[in-house]
């Protein structure tokens, strides 16, 4: 049987990676984006964001002739039998809820063009109830409503590991309403299933819930250890030792138990907020009341980091030159959405510091969003004559910095390790005043 032809609608992190990986798995794929600049870049073999390994895989798969990108909806509808919708669902301005306008536009534009037999699969992270709403929308607009189907297949990829997570996911979740839709999805994911990824088949609401529940759990785990860091701060205990000791218990596990400046990015913060907003609409707000604390603990880490910096500068940022290492929300990414590092940098600047930022990948994005900050071309240049250095995103080059070399360029040897990434004895031995979150 010939393999179904695929389309991927929306070529951000999720969509671009999905399109490339499905081609790698042997399918014919067309990717659509409404942004002609993105389409041109991808068509030329250029990934519009930082993702290790994706550029090589994109160029390799473009060369097969089985992958192309377009802005034409009719081309996509003509070509593909299975469509994956991968558009963004950002937080609404001034509200907790998710903005579903891109989801509505994607399904709404595609529906009237759909050919009989088409399956449209939502991958975007959405509030519970969206898949059912989208199914009604598509039914109302499709030329042959009984001949098209909707499914929901949430995505769990992490930035920085996007290719690996897409080719070898921990699990596949298929939210479906018919055996035919499940069979189609099994066909499309056959290579992934054969390689060992388990499949959970369920209804729409559960599939939507798996995604937000997973991100809520991860956020809760991070905020748990960061709450322990707050307790460590008042008891002079060491949260990194605490985390290590807790992590040996397999029921707890070490992953996502790294204490520090907390979570940011385009997913965890907005997903827990959208989840709370939706739970409120559904009358289940009490069930998720704890997520408010998860969010609050996370935001307090940023304030605490600013306070640590101020303490090291004897109570005031005024006139101080401050180096910030890191702008991306995590290492191996150029994503600065809800970046804890830039939030802290901006706050210190607002309080009178002269802040100079360096990041190995996110400089361009940071400059656009935070033009009020200064930027340097290297980590050492950022630290030149600095009164204080803050490590806020744990890139390898910061972890591996020689304290003596750095000591040679700064005005004063003071460092805040916002990610618990450095070895305190080594830094103290080199004459540094070293402070970190949750450590004596």
In the bound state with ligand UGA, the residue whose beta carbon lies nearer, of 70 and 206, is 206
Judged by CB under 6 A, the residue of 24, 28, 149, 159 near ligand UGA is 159
156 touches ligand UGA (CB under 6 A)? yes
Q: Hey, what's the torsion of the CAs at 427, 431, 433, 437, to 10 degrees?
A: 10
Q: Closest approach of Cβ 341 to ligand UGA, in Å?
A: 9
For ligand UGA, what does the binding mask look like between residues 98 and 127, x meaning CB under 6 A?
A: ---------------------------x--
Size of the site for ligand UGA (CB under 6 A): 21
In the bound state with ligand UGA, the residue whose beta carbon lies nearer, of 66 and 123, is 123
Please tell me what DSSP assigns to residue 111.
Answer: G
Judged by CB under 6 A, the residue of 61, 124, 215, 223 near ligand UGA is 215
Note if 267 is an active site residue.
yes
Residue 375: count of CB within 10 angstroms of its CB: 19
Residue 56: count of CB within 10 angstroms of its CB: 13
302 touches ligand UGA (CB under 6 A)? no
CA-based end-to-end distance of the chain: 64
Near ligand UGA in 248-287, by CB under 6 A? 256-258, 260, 262-265, 267-268
In the bound state with ligand UGA, the residue whose beta carbon lies nearer, of 49 and 317, is 49
Judged by CB under 6 A, the residue of 62, 85, 106, 157 near ligand UGA is 157
In the bound state with ligand UGA, the residue whose beta carbon lies nearer, of 111 and 219, is 219
Contact present, 142 and 154 (Cβ < 8 Å): no
What pairing do the DSSP bridges indicate for beta strands 414-417 and 388-391?
Answer: parallel
Q: Closest approach of Cβ 157 to ligand UGA, in Å?
A: 5
In the bound state with ligand UGA, the residue whose beta carbon lies nearer, of 403 and 438, is 438
Question: How many angstroms separate the CA atoms of 70 and 72, rounded?
Answer: 5
In the bound state with ligand UGA, the residue whose beta carbon lies nearer, of 97 and 137, is 97
Judged by CB under 6 A, the residue of 218, 279, 320, 373 near ligand UGA is 218
Question: How many angstroms separate the CA atoms of 437 and 416, rounded?
Answer: 8
Q: Closest approach of Cβ 208 to ligand UGA, in Å?
A: 13
Question: How many angstroms separate the CA atoms of 197 and 191, rounded?
Answer: 9
- Nearest of 53, 55, 51, 70 to residue 7 by alpha carbon: 70
Backbone angles phi, psi at 121, to 5 degrees: -110, 120
Residue 320: count of CB within 10 angstroms of its CB: 23
| From 65-73, 149-157, 358-366, 405-413, span contacting ligand UGA (CB under 6 A) | 149-157
What sign does the dihedral 304-305-307-311 (CA atoms) show?
A: positive
* SS3 sequence of 230-251: HHHHHHCCCHHHHHHHHHCCCC
Q: Taking the mean position of all CA atoms in its chain, how far away is CA 413?
A: 33
For ligand UGA, what does the binding mask look like between residues 310 and 349, x meaning CB under 6 A?
A: -------------------xx-------------------
In the bound state with ligand UGA, the residue whose beta carbon lies nearer, of 66 and 419, is 419
Residues with catalytic function: 267
**Positions that interact with ligand UGA (CB under 6 A):** 125, 155-159, 215, 218, 222, 256-258, 260, 262-265, 267-268, 329-330
């Amino acid at each position: 049987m010939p393999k179904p032809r695929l389309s991927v609608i929306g070529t951000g992190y999720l969509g671009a990676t999905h399109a490339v990986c499905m081609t790698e798995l042997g399918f014919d794929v067309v990717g659509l984006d409404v942004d002609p600049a993105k389409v041109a870049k991808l068509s030329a073999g250029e990934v519009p964001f930082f993702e290790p390994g994706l550029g090589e895989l994109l160029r390799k798969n473009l060369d097969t002739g089985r992958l192309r990108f377009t802005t034409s909806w009719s081309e996509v509808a003509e070509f593909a039998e299975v469509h994956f919708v991968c558009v963004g669902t950002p937080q609404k301005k001034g509200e907790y809820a998710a903005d579903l306008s891109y989801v509505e536009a994607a399904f709404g534009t595609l529906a009237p063009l759909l050919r009989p037999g088409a399956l449209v699969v939502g991958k975007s992270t959405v509030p519970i109830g969206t898949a059912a709403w989208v199914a009604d929308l598509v039914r109302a607009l499709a030329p042959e409503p009984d001949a098209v189907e909707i499914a929901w297949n949430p995505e769990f990829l992490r930035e920085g590991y996007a290719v690996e997570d897409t080719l070898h996911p921990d699990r596949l979740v298929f939210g479906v309403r018919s055996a035919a839709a499940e069979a189609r999805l099994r066909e499309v994911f056959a290579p992934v299933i054969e390689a060992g990824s388990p499949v959970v088949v369920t209804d729409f609401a559960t599939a939507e819930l798996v995604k937000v529940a997973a991100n809520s759990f991860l956020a809760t785990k991070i905020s748990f250890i960061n709450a322990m860091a707050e307790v460590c701060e008042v008891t002079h205990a060491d949260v990194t030792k605490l985390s290590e000791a807790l992590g040996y218990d397999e029921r707890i596990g070490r992953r996502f138990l790294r204490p520090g400046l907390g979570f940011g990015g385009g997913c965890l913060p907005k997903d827990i907020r959208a989840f709370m907003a939706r739970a409120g609409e559904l009358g289940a707000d009490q069930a998720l009341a704890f997520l408010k604390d998860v969010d609050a603990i996370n935001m307090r880490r940023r304030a605490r980091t600013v306070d640590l910096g101020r303490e090291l500068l004897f109570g005031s940022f005024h006139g101080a030159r401050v180096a910030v290492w890191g702008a991306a929300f995590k290492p191996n990414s150029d994503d600065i959405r809800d970046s804890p590092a830039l939030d802290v940098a901006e706050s210190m600047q607002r309080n009178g510091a002269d802040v100079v930022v360096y990041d190995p990948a996110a400089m361009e994005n940071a400059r656009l969003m935070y033009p009020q900050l200064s930027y340097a071309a290297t980590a050492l240049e950022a630290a030149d004559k600095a009164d204080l250095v803050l490590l806020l995103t744990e890139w390898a080059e910061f972890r591996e910095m020689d304290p003596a070399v750095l000591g040679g360029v700064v005005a004063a040897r003071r460092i805040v390790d916002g990610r618990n990434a450095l070895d305190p004895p080594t830094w103290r031995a080199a004459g540094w005043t070293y402070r970190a979150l949750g450590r004596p």
